[in-house]
Structure 1
Amino acid sequence: MRSTTALRFAAFVLSASFLFATPECATAEELLKARLAQNLGPISGLAIVANAKGIFAKQGLDISVSNFTSGKQCLDTVLGGGADIATTAEAPVTAAAMAQQPIAFVAGMEYSDLKTMTAASAGIKTKADLRGKRIAFTAGTGSEVYTSVLLKAAGLTSKDVTLVNLRPQEMLPAMAAGSIDAFDTWEPHVANAKKALGEGATPLETKGIYSETFNIVVTQSYLAANPAIVTKFLASLIEAEGWLKAHPDEAIDVIAAATGMKRDELAAIWPDYVYRVRLDDKLLATLKTHATWRLETGNHPPGATMPDFSKVLVTAPLKAVDPARVTLEARP
């Protein structure tokens, strides 16, 4: 395995050798084209900034962006051939790995807590108050895992509530119509509900219950055929990370405008988002924890076992850009 990894890394260093020789501003003819399937939310903040600030073009890329409301949709689009690069959470990654899909997880770029919004009329003040309530979640995403962990923390099981599988964009209308009492999801959908419903919506305190990672995933075949694009893409995210941290106020403006959030709403939750391009043991632990949850709950394809994440996590592209960002010590 080590020799294979070493060969992969050597090949990437060679294939990406012209990355750092790219002119500061490449012409349109020189730009490498790629299609990004992006979850349009603050969790994709680095990709949003890289696009808005011209960083992709500076790195020699012409990125066309298709926006979705979940990382599952993004990864499904890549696996279906409709895009080349996905921003996605760990839930779709473990599902794909257990289904033997040939994916390559090349970097994490963000992590943040998922959240619960409740209808004020439901009288939900604590986690225990969720008993008997109708709770919306999105199957196949981190929302499903978060819901499971939240119920466990409340001393409840799925039998104690009514679970309603909805897409994130369907949750606000459902709450407004009175057909659900609470929903579990990510931003900007929580902020959108508060904006639309005002005092009719109340967030439930669940900080620390479950942190979702947001990551960059491609197919193994795309990575093999386009190593320079993947490496340049990661270099773009790293540059965007530096700009975001140096200009937080402007970054909030950029991401709020892209996601349709009010600036003050994003500013209020800005500390919730940790942006850093990396491959580390925390990412690996999250993937393994999520895969364990799938195995324990039966939420996996027939006959699935714990994935061999050494075949899923591919370190060579990020190492070619910044080796210090790869700190995997545990065995995948």
Structure 2
Amino acid sequence: MTRFLRHALSRLALAVGASAALLGAAQAGTLSIGHTTWVGYGPLFVARDLGYFKQAGLDVQLTTIEESSLYMAAMASGKLTGTASTIDEILKYRSPQFCFRSVLALDESAGGDGVVTANGINSIKDLKGKAVAVNEGSVSMFWLSYLLKQAGLGVKDIEVKNMTADDAASAFMAGRVPAAVTWEPNLTMVKQKKAGQVLVDSRKTPGVIVDVVALRCDVIDKQPADVKALVEGVNKAVAYMKAHPAESAKIIAKGVGGYLSKPEDVSEALKGVRFYDTAGSVGLMGQPGKPGPLKDVVSLANETWSVIQGKKFSVGYDDLVDTRFLKPAH
């Protein structure tokens, strides 16, 4: 295990203490999944609360841990069987000693993430030489790097101000930085307060910010029926969410909580997310022996983090993705 993960494990112990929400060793019929506060994880709560998992004999425990190093450390130590996170985020932790793979795609950001800028900054190229508030090491940094590369720039061409997405939005609206990378509801707040403009949002970069459910390899191998039940439960939940948006928003608000504790806020946030049913997962992730477009995101993440962190990342698609449980539509 890497020094970074060992350090995160010690921090995890301090952060969660004896929380009953974090389970111990994996057991048949149970999956414990860590996640941050994000509307894209809504299908997990819908499937849980409507009994879709239970109907297949599966108990899914969902635990909120806001820092990626902590939920990945929890999975590495066996306190969690899996995580819901962006695939670029988890790629940094994959190693021969820490084996996990993505078994389904949950959602992609389709307007939920954005770059906010002050007047006079009218393109990504205009960020050159400017201070940009962004959470280093996060998906926000990954996405910003992608945007900069498309504009012929790199992270070295801007002045990075490291802060969380919420703090970045606050710093921007207070006039302390001319640009920030953040997400909803901060993007809407910037527009409502006329504090600046949303220069670009993730609708312009489909398929780049993608959330997946990743499980430890030992769990996948020993609990295939549970993985199958997870995939099928999420598929049912996505269908329900399409047919019953108001009821789904109430379920998600109750489950996700945090800044999404009100159904109306969930409904607004859902506008910036595209959810994947099983057919969508197949289209994105592919089938055994036939990688889908997600392979390009994995390659991009390897390249991006290698440049940003100054060390080589070369995680293979097959190391990070397992499509055996996805059944194509007929």
Q: Is the 8 A contact 2:117 2:199 kept in 1?
A: no
Q: Which one has a bigger Cα radius of gyration?
A: 1
Q: In the alignment, which residue of structure 2 is the partner of 1:150?
A: 147
Q: Name the structure 1 match of 2:74.
A: 77
Quick check: 2:140–2:181 contact (8 Å CA) kept in 1? yes
In the alignment, does 2:189 pair up with 1:208? no
Question: What do residues 197-239 of structure 1 show as CA deviations (whole Å, max 9, x unaligned)?
Answer: 7332532234314631110101112222333332222221111
Paired residue for 2:18? none
Q: Is the 8 A contact 2:132 2:180 kept in 1?
A: yes
Q: Pick one of 316, 321, 330 that aligns with 1:313.
A: 321
SS at match of 1:205: strand
CA-atom RMSD in angstroms: 3.3
Q: Secondary structure at the match of 2:322?
A: coil
Q: Answer yes or no: is 1:86 the counterpart of 2:83.
A: yes
Partner of 2:328: 324
Q: Distance in 2 between matches of 1:75 and 1:63?
A: 18
Q: 1:155 offset after TM fit, Å?
A: 4.4
Match of 1:115 among 113, 124, 129: 113
Q: Which runs of 5+ in 1 are unaligned?
A: 1-30, 328-332
Contact 1:71 1:89 in 2 (8 A): no
The AA in structure 1 aligned to 2:178 is: D
Cα deviation, residue 133, structure 1: 2.8
* Distance of 2:266 and 2:128 partners within structure 1: 31
Report the alpha carbon displacement of residue 85 of structure 1 after superposing the two structures with TM: 1.7
Number of the residue aligned with 2:138: 141
Equivalent position of 1:273 in the other structure: 273
CA drift at 1:70: 5.6
How many residue pairs get matched? 287
| Structure 1 residues 185-264: aligned runs within 5 Å | 185-188=182-185, 190-191=187-188, 193-194=189-190, 198-206=193-201, 207-209=203-205, 211-256=208-253, 258-259=256-257, 260-261=259-260, 263=263
**2:19 corresponds to which residue?**
none
Contact 1:74–1:88, Cα closer than 8 Å, also in 2: no
Quick check: 1:292 aligned with 2:306?
no
2:8 corresponds to which residue?
A: none
Instruction: Return closer, same or farther for 1:66/1:269 CA change in 2, 3 Å cut-off.
Output: closer
Asked if the contact 1:36/1:63 (under 8 Å) is kept, the reply is: yes
Distance 1:285 1:132, change over 3 A: closer
1:8 maps to which residue?
A: none
One-letter code aligned to 2:199 = L
TM-score scaled by length of structure 1: 0.72
Alpha-carbon spacing, 1:134–1:185, altered in 2? closer, same or farther (3 Å): same
Contact 1:43–1:214 (CA<8 Å) still a contact in 2?
A: yes
CA distance in 1 between counterparts of 2:156 and 2:310 reads 20
Match of 2:204, SS?
coil
SS of the counterpart of 1:199? coil
Structure 2 CA distance for partners of 1:36 and 1:98, relative to 1, 3 Å: closer
**Letter of the aligned partner of 2:113 in structure 1?**
K
Contact 1:109/1:275 (8 A) holds in 2 = yes
Letter in 2 for 1:101: F
Q: Secondary structure at the match of 2:210?
A: strand
Matched AA of 2:273: Y
Matched, 1:47 2:51: no
Once residues 98 and 183 of structure 1 are traced to their aligned partners in structure 2, the CA distance between those partners, rounded to angstroms, is 32
Using the TM superposition, give the Cα deviation of residue 243 of structure 1 relative to its aligned residue in structure 2, in angstroms.
Answer: 0.8
Counterpart amino acid of 2:45?
I
Change (3 A) 1:292 1:160: closer
2:13 aligned residue: none
- 8 Å CA contact retained: 2:116, 2:200: no
TM (norm. structure 2) is 0.73
